[in-house]
């Protein structure tokens, strides 16, 4: 977003479209061991955490901020860096969100469109999730929780995208198969085990921490939050 445009923004509506599902991937030693699934995380209520984080940063920069809920189109949007237009349906949703609060700008934290797990080049993780990779002839795993998002700035008056910023944060560690977030995963790991409450609590902790870093980085880069220090 141009600096002069950011300086004119006084009131912002913030929305998070991340909190419906996480993506889990296991990249095996061979393709026959690969696993993938989507995990329903609607019970985590992380959209509230992320909109609260955005609001706090905006208020610290001297702006007003309100939160709005995500629509299905906001959760499913795919938009690349530098895009300036979106579908009419999504634009209508964002215009309405801005109209209800009288906002100058609508910020949508959306799932990333082109994000790759650093542990396996063929594995794609959109939004938040976890990539696991087996190690040949070993009882250990590489594990990488990820937050791959796009921060979309939308002008509700012109009905155009003012900025689209892809952001990615990852963690990486090698650990025992029995030590991955405190549960026995076996070989290959059973990623259905992430229905376990302990596993979900750990995954939530990792991915929300990474996403908060993305939010801070994104708002600063757009000129909508105070710089570091």
pLDDT in tens, 108-150: 999 986 555 655 555 567 889 888 776 665 556 677 788 889 9
**Three-state DSSP state, 94:** helix
Cα Rg of the chain (Å, integer): 19
pLDDT in tens, 175-207: 544 455 544 445 455 566 677 777 788 888 888
The pTM assigned to this predicted structure is 0.87
Q: How many CB atoms lie within 10 A of CB 26?
A: 23
Which option is the CATH number for 8-221: 2.40.160, 3.30.160, 2.40.128, 3.40.50?
Answer: 3.30.160
Q: How many CB atoms lie within 10 A of CB 137?
A: 6
């Amino acid at each position: 977003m141009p600096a002069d445009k950011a300086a004119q923004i006084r009131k912002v509506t913030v929305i998070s479209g991340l909190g419906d599902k996480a993506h889990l991937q296991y990249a095996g030693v061979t393709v026959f061991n690969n696993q993938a699934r989507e995990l329903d995380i609607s019970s985590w209520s992380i959209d509230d955490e992320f909109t609260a984080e955005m609001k706090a940063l905006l208020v610290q920069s001297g702006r007003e901020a309100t939160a709005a809920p995500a629509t299905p189109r906001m959760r499913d949007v795919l938009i690349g860096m530098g895009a300036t237009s979106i579908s009419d349906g999504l634009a209508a949703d964002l215009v309405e969100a801005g109209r209800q609060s009288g906002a100058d700008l609508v910020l949508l934290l959306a799932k990333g469109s082109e994000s790759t797990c650093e542990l396996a080049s063929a594995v794609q993780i959109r939004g938040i999730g976890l990539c696991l990779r087996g190690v040949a002839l070993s009882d250990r795993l590489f594990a990488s929780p990820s937050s791959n998002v796009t921060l979309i700035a939308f002008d509700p008056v012109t009905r155009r995208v003012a900025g689209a910023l892809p952001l990615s944060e990852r963690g990486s560690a090698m650990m025992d198969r029995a030590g991955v977030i405190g549960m026995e995963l076996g070989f290959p790991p059973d990623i259905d085990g992430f229905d376990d409450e302990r596993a979900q609590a750990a995954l939530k902790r990792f991915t929300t921490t990474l996403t908060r870093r993305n939010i801070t980085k994104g708002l600063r880069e757009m000129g909508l939050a105070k710089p570091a220090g």
